[in-house]
Amino acid sequence: MLAVALALSLSCLAPSLAQPLPANASPVEATLSPVSARIEPGGAADVRIRLEHQPGWSTFWINPGAGEAIIARWEAPEGWSVEAEGWPTPRRIMDGEGRVFGYGYDETLLLPFRIVAPNTARPGAIKSVELEVQWLACREQDCVEGGASLSLDVEVSASAETSRPEMNPDVLTLPESADQWRFDASTAQGEIRLQIIAPEVIDDLYFFPVEPVIWHADPQTVTRVSSTEHELSVRTDPFYQGDRSRLSGVLAFTDGEGAYRGVSVALPLDAQSPSSEAAAPATPQGVWKAIMFAFLGGLILNLMPCVLPVLSLKAIALARSAGMKPAAMRADGWAYAAGVSSCFGLIGLAVLTGRSIMPAAGWGSQLQNPVIVMGLALLMTGVGLNLLGVLKLGGSLQRLGGAVQTRPGLQGAFLTGMLAVLVAAPCTAPFMASALGYAMIASPLGALAVFLSLGSGLALPYLVITHAPATQRLLPKPGPWMQTLQQVLAFPMFVTAIWLLWVLGAQTSHDGMAIGLLACLALAGAAKALSHGGRVGQTLGASLIVLGASSVLPVAWLSGSSAAAELVESQGGEDFSRQALALLLADNQKVFLYFTADWCITCKVNEATALRTPTTLDHFDRNDIRLMVGDWTREDPEISRFIADYGRAGVPLYLYFERGAGIDEGVILPQVLTEELIRQHTTEAPQGAEAGQ
């Protein structure tokens, strides 16, 4: 949860020129407002941190949602202390699309503190209290960090100052005590239900949790029983790892006179798991089913287009192995299998680590990072140049490049296996979805078993060829034709590099694609310079390699419109958000929701052959089915969480919601679609919650 909030905060910090501030203007101004400038020995004086916000700007509460909470660090003289009196009642901070972005404050905020003097303080002494305050200020999608260094001189007096200016209740709205309120909380099917009986007429209720047990962007449903009795329900965050035995926060409301107020809530809460359905596969039968599906998915992955570049490398290795001794061939097969298994094992360990740090990560999510995409494009370009015989690098880079391609040694087979897994990430083969979804929630041993089973399926065909004499006799004899084949097989590498650069352009912009093309051009220039040898050629080649590698970093700060987003707009569809989906379902609409990514080849094939066709679009129109698309090309925590709720770990994911369906009652369609399958599953409501694998 912390990682999700941090990722959204970092994306918010990206510079934006849409609505620049005037020169030398700050969105938030901080001052110290003492209620009393005098304090008696052993006494206390009230002080407020005053934050004045420019119109439209907001700062964040203790639970900031997707922002960063205000931080106040005090330095007091020895023996003195500064105590916080509480956080004022927060408000919802909305993004540019009307969704809840976080919890916080706007206009004028007063944060209350108390300065406590020791009994030994001498009357007449003047003490200085220092403050460092930091904040993140946001306006729609524009966010800037800010801070201030402040100080306050406090005079020690024989008696405290008696006059205490009244604070504007609309500015300082500390939550009230719940002495006359009645609350009761329970959980069921991953939902918190808060029963509220108020001592007065209230309206416009909203619950702000102190701990992120609730995902901030989820809508909250309030049922009015009477003017003083309400029921509030909201989905729990299935990824929250903290204490679920208590519910604490602030219930904000509007009273009978229209004033915005809040009341503190702290009560026991049922600590059951938020999703007993998600935990169901943890049975022994579920483990073996997931392992079996993972093995079948790994086998089929050999036939997926994502693995085409590595199949080219393997073809060369197989041809060379025709002249190898049987023992050497078997060793080569096991080295390849070890590379595949090692890479899958590392992915499994990363998943286990990421579940506690960033649980939204899923299969193929590394390709959501433009830096990784560009790095892979450079790698494929380099491998292609090496296959053509243009790139002849010395040292470690040569060992890496040669090992990954045509080197007959065990190191080459091992690295080829690792590369096979790396480029297979964009493909989710049939049977893989359930297995990977299970791995995201299984025990550590169960998750590792699933990933290793995937590796076994991917490596098995090559192992069979290297161990079965009958298959070895089918391999052609080595000869001069291998050099020609090696050069021909360079072109699938270049095709893959082009595809990756197209993905990079969708993730970033045309500028990002241009940077990638220039980096590949620099790599080609380096290969040519190094092929001439000599000190000048080596210096020029090394300089071009450094230039190409350093150009990877700027693409991380670029953003652009993906093909999936353009598709939604052209078809009159709607971008996915949980709130938008809930509104459509509440309006009794039928919805076809699919999650895609520009780097997902299976997604693109389905869109071209089944989803984007006039027949399917006409079917949606005639049957009044609303189209909604979730674009996972770049990291989107809300989409990642929604996919995980349906027991999946990546894209594609296709869901159909019949009229009256709940947000968790979508029918899952197969991952390989046809027009007929879409019509079949959206003409009548299928039986059961899942239509196929």
Torsion angle defined by CA atoms of residues 437, 7, 264 and 35, in that order, rounded to the nearest 10 degrees: 170
State the average pLDDT for the chain: 74
Pick the CATH number of 182-274 from 3.30.70, 2.40.128, 2.60.40, 4.10.240: 2.60.40
CA angle in degrees (0–180, nearest 5) for 280-428-426: 130
Q: Point out the least confidently predicted range of 15-19, 24-28, 516-520, 567-571.
A: 15-19
pLDDT score of 44: 86
Of residues 160 and 39, which shows the higher confidence score? 39
pLDDT in tens, 419-447: 777 666 555 555 555 556 556 556 677 77
The stretch 66-78 carries a mean pLDDT of 88
What pLDDT band is residue 481 in, cutting at 50, 70 and 90?
low
DSSP output for 37-90: SEE-TT-EEEEEEEEEEPTT-BEEEEEEETS-B-EEEEE--TT-EEEE--PPPP
What pLDDT band is residue 254 in, cutting at 50, 70 and 90?
very high
Q: How far apart are CA 643 and CA 456, in angstroms?
A: 26
Of residues 108 and 467, which shows the higher confidence score? 108
Of residues 283 and 30, which shows the higher confidence score? 30
* pLDDT beyond 60 at 394: no
pLDDT in tens, 138-165: 887 677 888 999 998 888 887 655 444 4
Q: How far apart are CA 374 and CA 503, in angstroms?
A: 9
* pLDDT beyond 50 at 686: no
Which residues, listed in sequence order, are joined to residue 207 by a DSSP beta bridge?
Answer: 251
Sorted by sequence, the CB contacts under 8 Å of residue 324 that are 6+ apart come out as 332, 408
CB atoms within 10 A of CB 190: 18
Task: Please state the pTM of the whole predicted model.
Answer: 0.43
Which residues, listed in sequence order, are joined to residue 65 by a DSSP beta bridge?
Answer: 102
* pLDDT beyond 90 at 206: yes
pLDDT in tens, 107-127: 999 998 988 888 888 888 888
13-48 in b/e form (b: 16+ CB < 10 A) is eeeeeeeeeeeeeebbebebebbbebbbbebbbbbb
Is the N-terminal amide bond of 652 cis, ω within 30° of 0?
yes
**Which residue pairs from 257-260 have beta carbons closer than 8 angstroms and sit at least 24 positions apart in sequence?**
259/169, 259/170, 260/89, 260/91, 260/170, 260/173
Gyration radius (Cα) of the chain, Å: 30
pLDDT score of 640: 79
Pair 561, 510: CB distance under 8 Å: no
Q: CA distances (Å), 371 to each of 368, 505, 557, 604, 633, in order?
A: 9, 12, 10, 22, 13
CA-based torsion, 165, 166, 168, 169: positive or negative:
positive
Q: What is the residue whose two structure tokens read 């890496």?
A: 400
DSSP strand E in 140-245: where? Answer: 142-156, 182-188, 191-197, 202-209, 221-224, 229-235
Half-sphere exposure of residue 182, counting CA atoms within 13 Å on the CB side?
Answer: 8
| Selection from 142, 145, 146 nearest residue 14 by Cα | 142
Q: What is the residue whose two structure tokens read 């639970």?
A: 63
CA angle in degrees (0–180, nearest 5) for 453-454-458: 115
pLDDT in tens, 320-360: 555 567 777 788 788 888 888 888 878 777 766 655 544 44
| Selection from 378, 631, 363 nearest residue 500 by Cα | 378
Q: What is the residue whose two structure tokens read 């990638």?
A: 516
pLDDT score of 67: 80
Q: How far apart are CA 85 and CA 200, in angstroms?
A: 26
CA-based torsion, 238, 244, 247, 249: positive or negative:
negative
Q: CATH 2.60.40.1250 spans which residues of the chain?
A: 2-156
Does domain 563-683 fall into CATH 3.40.30.10?
yes
The stretch 44-57 carries a mean pLDDT of 90
pLDDT score of 132: 92
How far is it between the farthest Cα atoms of the chain? 103
Which of the listed ranges 200-214, 302-316, 454-468 does the model predict with the highest average pLDDT?
200-214
pLDDT score of 5: 38
| Selection from 31, 51, 38 nearest residue 172 by Cα | 51
Of residues 590 and 327, which shows the higher confidence score? 590
The stretch 194-199 carries a mean pLDDT of 91
Give the full edge-to-edge strand order of the sheet including 28-34.
Answer: 28-34, 44-53, 108-116, 81-84
pLDDT in tens, 222-232: 988 888 899 99
pLDDT in tens, 397-406: 333 444 444 4
Q: CA distances (Å), 140 to each of 26, 100, 163, 629, in order?
A: 16, 10, 41, 22
pLDDT score of 530: 73
The stretch 378-400 carries a mean pLDDT of 60
| Selection from 512, 514, 509, 599 nearest residue 555 by Cα | 512
pLDDT score of 59: 93
Q: How far apart are CA 667 and CA 685, in angstroms?
A: 8
| Selection from 328, 309, 306, 315 nearest residue 462 by Cα | 315
**Percentage of residues in the chain with pLDDT exceeding 90?**
12
Exposed, middle or buried: residue 246 (CB in 10 Å: 0-12, 13-18, 19+)? Answer: middle
Exposed, middle or buried: residue 136 (CB in 10 Å: 0-12, 13-18, 19+)? Answer: buried
Of residues 128 and 664, which shows the higher confidence score? 128
What pLDDT band is residue 58 in, cutting at 50, 70 and 90?
very high
Does domain 2-156 fall into CATH 3.40.50.300?
no
pLDDT score of 149: 92
Q: CATH 3.40.30.10 spans which residues of the chain?
A: 563-683
Tokens of 533: 């040898």
Which residues, listed in sequence order, are joined to residue 110 by a DSSP beta bridge?
Answer: 50
What pLDDT band is residue 74 in, cutting at 50, 70 and 90?
very high
DSSP assignment, residue 323?
T
Residues in the chain, how many?
A: 693
Half-sphere exposure of residue 267, counting CA atoms within 13 Å on the CB side?
Answer: 20
DSSP assignment, residue 166?
P
pLDDT in tens, 230-240: 999 888 876 67
DSSP strand E in 258-337: where? Answer: 260-268
CB atoms within 10 A of CB 374: 30
**Percentage of residues in the chain with pLDDT exceeding 70?**
69
pLDDT score of 400: 40
